[in-house]
Amino acid sequence: MSILIDGRSNMRKNLPATEAITIMGSARHIPRGKIRNELAAIFPKKHPDLEQFVPAETTALIAVKATRCIHAGKFPMISVGNCKTDA
């Protein structure tokens, strides 16, 4: 699986300042239960607007084990690195 995080605005003049990171690795669904509840409690502390979203029946919690990260910044510079994991 791959996640792209793009920090630019929709303004063409900002292209040289654009930064993005692609995180590659494996993902797994966290089923409802004690572990999911513990992990889900983290989000509303940082983002209070997610308080009702996180526990909704239609919300899935996904754990991502990152193995490689690609950073693009100061267009067109790109750096690639392996991610350290404890698990």
How many domains does one find in the chain? 1
Which residue range forms the structural domain that includes residue 74? Answer: 2-82
pLDDT along the chain (87 residues), means of 10: 68 70 90 93 89 91 89 74 67
**pTM over 0.85, yes/no:** no
> 37-41: long-range contacts at Cβ-Cβ below 8 A with a sequence spacing of 24 or more?
39/63
Q: How far apart are CA 1 and CA 6, in angstroms?
A: 17
Domain of residue 69, CATH code = 2.30.110.10
78 domain-assigned: yes
* pLDDT for 11: 62
Query: In 3D, which of 5, 2, 9 has the Cα closest to residue 26?
Result: 2
87 domain-assigned: no
